[in-house]
Amino acid sequence: MGEEAVFRIADLRKSFGSIQVLGGVGLELHSGEVTVLMGANGAGKSTLVKVVSGVYSLDAGTMMLDGQSFNPQTPAEAIRAGVVTVHQNINDGVVAALDVATNLTLDRLNGAGASLLFNPRRIRREAKQVADRMGLTVDLGAQIPDLSLADRQMVAIARAMAHEPKVLILDEPTSSLSSAEANRLFALIDRLKQRGVAILYITHRMSDIRRLADRIVSLRDGVIAGTFEAKPLDYEGAVNAMLGRKVGLGQVAVRDGGETVFFADGLRIAEAARPFSLALGAGEVVAITGLVGVGKTALAETLFGVRAPLAGTMALDRKPYAPASPRQAIDAGVFLVAKDRAENGIVPDFNIYENMNLPFLRRISRFGVAQRRNERAIARRQIGDLGIVCRTERDDMATLSGGNQQKVMVARWMSEQARLFMLDEPFQGVDIAARRDIAAKLRASADGRATLIFVTELDEALETADRILVMSEHTIVGEHRNAGLNMERLLGEIAGQHLKGAA
């Protein structure tokens, strides 16, 4: 096992309009091995998977499966050839209206040569054969909505394996699983390796990578930035390649925090995660960095009242803080600029000043009626402070560039004084100029509050923060003052060096 390259990609290219997403990718998958694909947001992972699985057509390059040309035009064509993908959204791999047995045999029912007669006994018999081969113990008569997320995922993988693929692609399969559920998945992957399946496993979780990877491939900006297969695997080198080998040092005038604004003790935000403490001082900007999926957004949502911590206590200005909703958090002076401005931030039907003032309408209204003059005055001030490029505060949001839309989202929460101001990936999808404008405004306005930003890109932390915390496996694993940094230690923590010897 592990000798034969069953699947080869060479010089694969894909563009959308003038934007090149894949710029000449080369990749090999070997029979009986797990190849882990790592890449930051926007690196091209999803596009690569969609080309391989027949969702997108390639622009240039070649794909070879078992020595034969492979160029699927549809997902069904890819599956028939022996390349099966289980997407991150598990609901894409199961049909909620059907029971487990029907899901496991659905593709056979719809395939060539399928009987026109629905035979429940035959479906049950064939489903049991599929389940037994995969070690699946789920009740075959159970309805999909009644299953746990982990069991639904197992059904999706078992359904995929019913095709007896040569190549199986798993996209972030443990992103929503507990430790025990993930171990079940790992045992299943071990069995698939023994059967000679070539597996492409897309993840950022270092515990997954250490447990499963036979080879690591790092993707950055649409090209392969490094392939790591010499034993022992160079996990830190793979992370460096994914993030970019040239990581600049911070250029900020570092400030130490004043009085403690926020404190958490024994905080635990995920099952099996190690509890941690967190202290944030007035006037300082703190960045929490780490790979995708390590718990940064979960922590932001916990502090903002979207979810409750599993353990631990929190205090704001030395008073107990346990928000049951975002509204309670806002009323306490804790604000959050959410990660996805399209889904969680912007109201497309509102103009600039309406979007800016949305969370604080109660404070600028009289007898429940918004005072437009107040709204617009606040918006004009924020437009000037953040350098938002527009004609007037009445412009529609759709007329703004992505960077200026992001500035509006930041301005929205800066129109009122916060005690704890949080921003989740505030620089995502903006250009360098907009990034620097936002960072400069955050630092210039930091007095009187604690500021916490969550970023995956290390450069963003180095250019913005006074202090950098590293998150891994839903806990804080490192702390660094942004001056005289030990970059090797910092990158090692991001790469999961603390996990050595674990699992």
Residue 6, SS3 per DSSP: strand
* pLDDT digit string, tens, across residues 367-379: 444 466 666 777 7
* Residue 166 neighbours by CB distance under 10 Å: 18
The answer to whether residue 98 scores a pLDDT higher than 70 is: yes
- DSSP states along 195-244: TT-EEEEE---HHHHHHH-SEEEEEETTEEEEEE-SSSP-HHHHHHHHH-
Q: Which of 140-144, 252-256, 387-391 has the lowest mean pLDDT?
A: 387-391
Strands 467-472 and 475-481: antiparallel
Residue 311, SS3 per DSSP: strand
* pLDDT digit string, tens, across residues 28-81: 999 999 999 988 766 888 899 999 999 999 999 999 999 999 999 998 899 889
* Residue 18 neighbours by CB distance under 10 Å: 5
* pLDDT digit string, tens, across residues 161-187: 777 889 999 988 876 666 667 787 888
Residue 412, SS3 per DSSP: helix
pLDDT value of residue 41: 67
Residue 428 in tokens? 């995502």
Average pLDDT over residues 392-409: 77
Query: Looking up tokens 């959204």, which residue turns up?
Result: 89
Average pLDDT over residues 346-367: 63
- Element (H or E) spanning 64, and its range? strand 60-65
pLDDT value of residue 200: 97
pLDDT value of residue 359: 61
pLDDT above 90 coverage of the chain, percent: 42
Residue 18 in tokens? 């003038």
The more confident residue out of 145 and 354 is: 145
The answer to whether residue 443 scores a pLDDT higher than 70 is: yes
Residue 210 in tokens? 């250490």
- Element (H or E) spanning 471, and its range? strand 467-472
Average pLDDT over residues 128-145: 84
pTM for this model (two decimals): 0.63
Distance CA 108, CA 101 (A): 12
Cβ–Cβ < 8 Å for 370, 377? no
* pLDDT digit string, tens, across residues 187-240: 889 988 998 999 999 987 777 888 999 999 999 889 999 999 999 999 888 888
pLDDT value of residue 138: 85
Region for 283 from its dihedrals, namely left if φ exceeds 0, alpha if ψ lies in -120 to 50, beta otherwise: left
pLDDT value of residue 94: 77
The more confident residue out of 338 and 335 is: 335
Q: Which domains does the chain carry?
A: 5-243 (3.40.50.300), 250-333+418-503 (3.40.50.300), 342-417 (no CATH)
pLDDT value of residue 369: 46
Cβ–Cβ < 8 Å for 7, 83? yes
pLDDT value of residue 346: 64
At what angle are helices 100-110 and 120-134 packed, to 10 degrees? 100
- DSSP states along 315-372: EETTEE---SSHHHHHHHTEEEE-S-IIIII--TTSBHHHHHHGGGTTTSEETTEE-H
The more confident residue out of 390 and 267 is: 267
Cβ–Cβ < 8 Å for 152, 160? no
The answer to whether residue 420 scores a pLDDT higher than 80 is: yes
Banded model confidence at residue 503, pLDDT cuts 50, 70, 90: very low
